[in-house]
Structure 1
């Protein structure tokens, strides 16, 4: 699709099927917190939350043991990251490179809660978990560890991860996965990456994602995401989800089903209506008819089965519960009208869009103190300004081309003539002829530059006149929302080329603004008829996505892998 302003895109789900409004390719999901608040990841060791026996590098990623060796399992020097790990990330992973005098390092790599003492190795204290290099054991708040993996020491890279969907940890050594370990890691307390050292000469360098990991964590995460999504997709449909609850005696909390339990066939019937309502909303008439034929052919015509979709398409079920039933002809005529109106907006023909809307859906323009009417008029002003800006660029290009031709002509005269005076007289005479409107090279006597200049002046005057009428309306309105629309529109006058200005001006003038206005107009028309402004299927998608976001932030780690956009849209 060409996205330049002034083009006329063809919007269809196939070569013959037009759509009322471009469906959003990325349905908006309301974020309940900023990315900084939700997904702030550890980036360095904490200067405050470390043992005084550990020296910290300037970049906060290297720790070295200083002082006398710690004895046995009584003392250690530990540090944890400056930030806890956000459960909403689903899986978290980091790596530590070991520097030690020997092949077995008295070092522990793992996790620790915010209250764990920095004088103890991760895994020795409650709310801490660690993998120890000297014996290869795993420790979870215990004095004697459990055999887990190989020992590690000088030059080894130990990776440490946590899967919040299971609250289990896992470790790697030199890029090799060692398996999951521990239970309820981070389930009841925030956790930080943590390390502990005991001997002089031991040091570690951490990679919190600043560099490429030795272990292929991306592939590991992909596998876990696919497992989670497979579990979701394999879950059978629960017909009771489509049962309508109602209060039996008006008291809160006492709920009984209004309808008997819904069968699987009736549930499928409801799902089909959701799909049909989506197709109807966006104007995919041919696709909608094909879907009807498919459901008619696959449904079993038995007394116990739900009614099939006949020729009247059961419009009361598709369009909305409060909408009067429409005949097939009236329904298709409505879609055709909305398609024409929306395509006029997308093509920049605002006058035609206004005329058709006023003819078929006048109440859509008058609702909310006429805000949609104002938006359309402001868009017309934008289109007039864009037209004059394009003609101005064309005028300058033609002037430059003609100036170049003059220079070439002067050069030829200088070569063939007898002197500078002869050239000057010829150029002046030719230039005077052009300025007076006579071009010896054009039989019409009018240059291209003069034609384009007149077109530019006419377009500019038209834009200024229309803008003056908008300014008069701006001065008398008391509606703050409408005043804001006027203000944003008039901002395009501050630049010579609104489409390349960037920022909020381009947002107002660009093609995406046309698409947004077309969708808003379609929604206004639907509301004026008592229909939902958004298809129920889109609303269900958005509500489900928000629920998954809440679950992820509530430390239900598996929700982080249920990425609806990636699975349903990006695929």
Structure 2
């Protein structure tokens, strides 16, 4: 739990990493301020430092910025990201799993000492920022608020720390990890970075080819029409058919009649009129009860409960002997029957150990299950296509959340209306 909480906290200051073999003595560190005080005569004198915490892996975009208080003698200042086990006696980008943009030559370095031309040099008074984009797996840099473009692609390391390195005397910077220093804000707009990243994700999603047309017209129109019919919103379904599907589909009278029958069956079970429900179920879905003996037993069992509820002891005994016992088809049915028969020994059956079998929830559950069986037997779907798509979407979002996907953090910056059009 402590590690999980730590992953949610942002870096706030510099601290000497464990990877230094001695050159850290050349650095004077005061929270977010760092100054090089060593000899600075060669590469062997370089010293780096990293932030106190790594960037949270689930954060879609992280930006930090440094003010170059002094470029010192040569301006050998490198800014970037590294893992926890990098050799800190080297400038960022010179060691495996480290990335750096250097102020003396404007070169970008990734995991070795061979840099490539990237951006301008930076001087005393400049503000230089580094952006780690987890969604795009890139690192970009900014100088005085101006985007210098992507420096590194395919950045895969899970835990990266902001880092900075120096090499010549009197080089000094002050960092802004997001809280601001001396009341200053970032020179670059982090909100703009997030919006641009969200727009790139939108474009990527929209490049996935989806059918614009359904079987008879607008795919979205068909999904909405199917949902309305499925849930018996007849007037709305008719309006969707007219306005979104140009009258190419219609609400069918047989569908209306079927839904009315299903609702009547549900109402009968909920009200305790089980015999009527069984008769209508046979009419609407012939053969369904024969194909579901366990459900048939439960319906008969509910009839027994209703007789007990009405205090018709003779009727309950007769029904239990003539019909209920013959309906038993499994061990589970037998156990339910024994529990049901025990209710006869109580003046108030609802007070029995299995008295919940007499409750309204048992009726509601039975009504739900008989509806499910009827839909299955008649080839009707339990859920409309629109509901299935929604469930799948929720499943995807939960999976992304469990994996700590950085893409989730960009959803608030996306134009979802534009994405659906």
**Residue 63 of structure 2 is aligned to residue 93 of structure 1:** yes
Q: Secondary structure at the match of 2:200?
A: helix
* Equivalent residue in structure 2 for 1:227, among 187, 192, 200: 200
Matched, 1:544 2:393: yes
- Closer, same or farther: CA 274–114 of 1 in aligned 2, 3 Å: same
Unaligned 5+ runs, structure 2: 279-297, 303-347, 357-362, 376-380
185, 196, 214: which one pairs with 2:187?
Answer: 214
- 1:203 alignment partner in structure 2: 172
Task: Give 1:289 shift.
Answer: 1.5
Tell me the TM-score normalised to structure 2 length.
Answer: 0.62
Contact 2:63-2:130 at 8 Å conserved across structures: yes
Distance 1:557 1:120 in 2: 30
Q: Does 1:529 align with 2:371?
A: yes
Instruction: Find out whether 1:172 has 2:149 as its counterpart.
Output: no
Higher-RCO chain (CA-CA 8 Å, sequence separation at least 6)? 1
Preserved CA contact (<8 Å) 1:549 1:560? no
| Aligned mates of 1:528, 1:56 — CA distance in 2 | 72
Asked whether the 8 Å contact 2:146–2:188 carries over to 1, the reply is: yes
Change (3 A) 1:527 1:557: same
Does the 8 Å contact 1:65/1:199 carry over to 2? yes
The superposition leaves residues 415-469 of structure 1 with CA deviations (integer Å, 9 ceiling, x where unpaired) of xxxxxxxxxxxxxxxxxxxxxxxxxxxxxxxxxxxxxxxxxxxxxxxxxxxxxxx
Q: State the superposition RMSD in angstroms.
A: 4.7
Q: Does 1:358 align with 2:271?
A: yes
Answer yes or no: is the 8 Å Cα contact 1:523–1:533 preserved in 2.
no
Pairing of 1:4-153 with structure 2 (within 5 A): 36=5, 39-49=8-18, 51=20, 52-53=24-25, 54-57=27-30, 60-66=31-37, 68-100=38-70, 102=72, 105-153=75-123
Contact between 1:545 and 1:564, CA under 8 Å: does it hold in 2? Answer: no
In structure 2, do the counterparts of structure 1 residues 174 and 271 end up closer, same or farther at CA, with 3 Å as the change threshold? closer
Q: Relative to structure 2, which stretch is displaced further, 529-538 or 111-120?
A: 529-538
Deviations for 1:501-554, whole angstroms, at most 9, x for unmatched residues?
A: xxxxxxxxxxxxxxxxxxxx9999655521677655244234334425645776
Answer whether contact 1:124 1:139 (CA < 8 A) is retained: yes
Q: Could you tell me how far 1:121 is from its partner in structure 2?
A: 0.7
Aligned to 2:325: none
Q: Is contact 2:14–2:49 with CA below 8 Å preserved after alignment?
A: yes
Aligned equivalents of 1:91 and 1:196: distance in 2? 22
CA positional deviation for 1:116:
1.0
The one of 288, 291, 303 aligned to 2:237: 288
SS in 2 for 1:537: helix
Match of 2:293 in 1: none
Q: Report if aligned partners of 1:78, 1:196 keep a CA contact under 8 Å in 2.
A: yes
SS at 1:529 equivalent: helix
1:381-427 deviation per Cα after TM superposition (whole angstroms, max 9, x unaligned) = xxxxxxxxxxxxxxxxxxxxxxxxxxxxxxxxxxxxxxxxxxxxxxx
Report how many residues are paired. Answer: 331
Q: 1:95 offset after TM fit, Å?
A: 1.1
C-alpha distance after superposition, 1:210-252 (max 9, x if no partner): 134221121121122123213323432269xxxxxxxxxxxxx
Matches of 2:409 and 2:162, distance apart in 1:
20
Change (3 A) 1:215 1:563: closer
> Residues 153-196 of structure 1: CA distance to partner in whole angstroms, max 9, x if unpaired?
322211101223432211111111111112322x1553221111
Specify whether residues 92 and 115 from structure 1 end up closer, same or farther in structure 2 by C-alpha distance, changes over 3 A only: same
Which runs of no fewer than 5 residues in structure 1 stay unpaired? 1-33, 240-263, 300-308, 314-325, 342-354, 371-471, 481-520
